[in-house]
Amino acid sequence: MSQPVNVELRHYTDITPVRQDIIDVYADARAPLLHLPHYSVERFAERLDRHATESGWEAVIGYDTNQPVGYAYVNTLIEKDRWWSRMTEPLPDGFTDISTAALKEIMVRTPWRGTGTALRIHDALLSARSEERITLSVNPLAGDGRVQALYVTWGYEPFNEQRPSPDSPSLTAMIRSLKFRPAS
């Protein structure tokens, strides 16, 4: 990890004032993939707008001198949520009965990667959540597998796979307790 940076973290439950900041960070961080339909800025903006209307939407955005450098946002999952229905393997009985939040996106601009900014944003976002556990999905090939490996160090474990849309890659679904605290 490189030198820590002074990033101010701000919480939001309304997308209106920060929608463009989130889109700008996404476009910058995903620049190499924007030519692929699933990763286009337009498709991301549609997903963001849909997610922002879902139960329990909350975001944390990191700012370095008022420049947005990273974000994460989460929703509360409901029993019949689309999130669960996209799993490739059947879930065990009662699996969706446990209160769960879904980390829908976490993104940090390249100059702030490796500084601990992503983990700070992640932890700030989850710090006041009332759900028992958190789930996310990750492209297992992202960063040659380093992104998924990073999530393992944050306490997540793979439990299934999902494909959010026909043109998206197959993603690894991961989960962890919200009470988990990684070793320092």
* SS3 per-residue string spanning 20-83: HHHHHHHHHHCHHHCCCHHHCHHHHHHHHHHHCCCCCCEEEEEEECCEEEEEEEEEECCCCCHH
Residue 161 lies in a domain: no
Residue 179 lies in a domain: no
Residue 153 lies in a domain: no
Q: How far apart are CA 60 and CA 12, in angstroms?
A: 6
Residue 106 lies in a domain: yes
Structural domain tally of the chain? 1
Domain of residue 83: give its range: 8-133
- CATH code of the domain covering residue 103: 3.40.630.30
Residue 108 lies in a domain: yes
pTM, entire model:
0.91
Q: How far apart are CA 161 and CA 183, in angstroms?
A: 27
The 3-state DSSP composition of the chain as helix, strand, coil percent (nearest 5) reads: 35, 30, 40
From first to last of its 184 residues, the chain has per-residue pLDDT tens of 454 568 999 999 999 999 999 999 999 998 877 787 778 999 999 999 999 999 999 999 999 999 999 999 999 998 788 899 999 999 999 999 999 999 999 999 999 988 999 999 999 999 989 999 999 999 888 777 889 999 999 999 999 999 877 777 889 999 999 986 655 5
Say which residue the tokens 């370095």 belong to: 64
